[in-house]
Structure 1
Amino acid sequence: MIKILIPVDFSECSIKAVNFAAQLSHYIPTQLDLLNVQEGTGSLYTDYVGLNREFNLSLMADARKKLEKLQVRLGLADHVVAMTHLVTGEVQETIIAEAAKLKSDLIIMGTSGASGIKELLIGSQTASVIGHSKVPVLAIPEEYKWKKPEKILLATNNFEKDPNVLNTVFQLAGQLQAKVETVVFSEEDSDDAATLLKTSYGINAYEEFLKQEYNQPELLATHITGKKFEETLANHIVQNDVDILIMITYQRSLLKRIFTPSHTRRMSYHTKIPLLAIPCRKED
């Protein structure tokens, strides 16, 4: 049984994540931990006169009722084992802390996406958790409709061989009885001819490695090129009927995080299918 932490703010977006987890439990034995984080509101004055405390207590009571209702609905309709957790704190930090406390194997979050200046300035809680989590994070787009995953795509630029990462990929595929494919992306405008050629040769060796190491004789590895990573990958996903996208996050310096946001975080704003971000211990 794997333990799945699902942050819930009762929005349609977060309920979509809950429903995905419930469907997943039909194929993988799971325990769902439903987490609601209350950040608290008010000012020094309202705290002093007691108004803020009373208001926050009211919010907590309302959230507790909604969590319990959701827990009952999951148990009755989907026969899911679900626990509820109501805590206060800053959302992203609390989600990461609760995942460690509860020994979660996976975090599932809804994402409503973003674009342009909104992506640059405010981002999203899901993207932020992806950037800091030590456990895999599965982002479920708000408009996504459940279907049993049949094809999983691993996108990597590093010919990843870390068993902690790859074991997660192929274990999930085995539990869902899904096919695995992998792609390596090259940017046409920045990669020179020698780099493109080296990647083309490397992808063939990587395909053979995965086939032999994980007994995947039908696995296909593809070298894709384009001007923009998100658009190129999104087109490949549509053309090949991919159901789940898997990407890898790496430890990065502060300057890298500010000036060159990771492909995984950027893709979390644009994906139309579930995106599983698996953290890798080594640095990018």
Structure 2
Amino acid sequence: MINILVPTDFSALSKVAVLYAIKIANQLDGHITLLHVVTITQTVRHSMHDKIKDLEDDLITFAERDLNKLIKEVCKSVKTTEPISCRVVRASDFHDAIKKEAKRLKTGLIVMGTKGASGLKKAVVGSNTASVIELSQVPVLAVPERAKFKGFKEIVYASDLKNAEKELKMLMPYAENFGATIHLLHIAPSGKDVEALEEKVDKIVQRLGYTNVVTLVLVDYFIEGAIDQYLGVCKADLLAMFTHNLTFYEKLFDRSMTRKMAFQSSVPLLAFKQKR
């Protein structure tokens, strides 16, 4: 059983994430907790403190009501195998609240919505999801606004190969639960040493013994574009990535590039934080 945490602000986008999470939970016998964070004001004049406190109390009451309303609404669209829990917390920092709740609930997966955008809109819309991906120690599933859950049969794991064996071990339980094929994809910025890279990938897969793995090394300088194209070619249901500290090739897997893929990807993005 897996505990799934779904932060929500009651937007249409967060509702997409809730519906998606329910279908995952149904398949994995998981338990869902919906979380709404009421952001509190830390520094106010003493004369305003009581008024601010009353306002925050009202916001919590309204949020609890809206959470119960949301549950009733989504349950009309999809059946749930487990009751859905609700949590409203007040905190000065949204991301810190999610981190604490994830730890308290022993969360195995955080599910959030994300919306493709550009320019200033990209900086605002879905920024919470991208920031949670950057900071969370728990895997985060970023769900595009038009995504519909049909299971995870084809999982593309985009790898820089530096920690591929360790990362595959983390990804394999997800693939096994859904009977999925993993596409281990490495994008090389040049054609140099491609054969050696292919041999390295094959040896990693052989050592792990997971049979449902397709390995592929592509040459393309525009890494994120190559990944997005391959997602369409193999009709991927999920893109898996691991966030790393920045090095030369890891520009794809650093926090900013993972953020880009969260916005750019046409399929859900499962982001893990690589622990070194």
Normalising to structure 1: TM-score of the pair? 0.83
Number of residue pairs matched?
Answer: 269
Equivalent position of 2:223 in the other structure: 229
Q: In the TM superposition, what whole-angstrom CA distance separates every residue of 1:247-272 from its partner, at most 9, and x where no partner exists?
A: 0112459xx99xx7443222111111
Give yes or no for contact 1:173–1:179 (8 Å, CA) kept in 2: yes
Equivalent position of 1:3 in the other structure: 3
Instruction: Determine the C-alpha separation between the residues in 1 that align with 2:171 and 2:49.
Output: 54
Equivalent position of 2:52 in the other structure: 52
5 Å matches for 1:72-87? 72=72, 77-87=79-89
Equivalent position of 2:160 in the other structure: 157
AA partner of residue 135 (structure 1): V
Structure 1 residues 116, 10: CA separation in 2 closer, same or farther (over 3 Å shift)? same
Q: In the TM superposition, what whole-angstrom CA distance separates every residue of 1:168-192 from its partner, at most 9, and x where no partner exists?
A: 31111111111111111123xxx5x
Give 1:54 shift: 3.1
Task: Tell me if 1:19 matches 2:45.
Answer: no
Give 1:230 shift: 2.2
Equivalent position of 1:276 in the other structure: 270
Give yes or no for contact 1:151–1:181 (8 Å, CA) kept in 2: yes
5 Å matches for 1:110-125? 110-116=113-119, 118-119=121-122, 124-125=127-128
Equivalent position of 2:187 in the other structure: 185
Structure 1 residues 3, 121: CA separation in 2 closer, same or farther (over 3 Å shift)? closer
Task: Tell me if 1:249 matches 2:243.
Answer: yes
Task: Tell me if 1:210 matches 2:205.
Answer: yes
Instruction: Determine the C-alpha separation between the residues in 2 that align with 1:47 and 1:162.
Output: 58
Structure 2: give runs of 5+ residues left out of the alignment.
none
Instruction: Determine the C-alpha separation between the residues in 2 that align with 1:32 and 1:129.
Output: 18
Q: In the TM superposition, what whole-angstrom CA distance separates every residue of 1:64-106 from its partner, at most 9, and x where no partner exists?
A: 0122233455668323332111101221221122112221111
Let me know the Cα RMSD of the aligned residues: 2.8
Structure 1 residues 33, 122: CA separation in 2 closer, same or farther (over 3 Å shift)? closer
Task: Tell me if 1:175 matches 2:181.
Answer: no
Instruction: Determine the C-alpha separation between the residues in 2 that align with 1:60 and 1:237.
Output: 41
Give yes or no for contact 1:183–1:221 (8 Å, CA) kept in 2: yes
Give yes or no for contact 2:115–2:125 (8 Å, CA) kept in 1: no
Structure 1: give runs of 5+ residues left out of the alignment.
none
Equivalent position of 2:139 in the other structure: 136
SS at match of 1:138: strand
Give yes or no for contact 1:207–1:220 (8 Å, CA) kept in 2: no
Instruction: Determine the C-alpha separation between the residues in 2 that align with 1:4 and 1:83.
Output: 10
Instruction: Determine the C-alpha separation between the residues in 2 that align with 1:222 and 1:138.
Output: 24
Give yes or no for contact 1:203–1:223 (8 Å, CA) kept in 2: yes
Normalising to structure 2: TM-score of the pair? 0.86
Instruction: Determine the C-alpha separation between the residues in 1 that align with 2:49 and 2:4.
Output: 40
Instruction: Determine the C-alpha separation between the residues in 2 that align with 1:252 and 1:39.
Output: 31
Give 1:39 shift: 0.9
Equivalent position of 1:263 in the other structure: 257
Instruction: Determine the C-alpha separation between the residues in 1 that align with 2:170 and 2:210.
Output: 15
Instruction: Determine the C-alpha separation between the residues in 2 that align with 1:70 and 1:123.
Output: 20
SS at match of 1:27: helix
Give 1:6 shift: 0.8
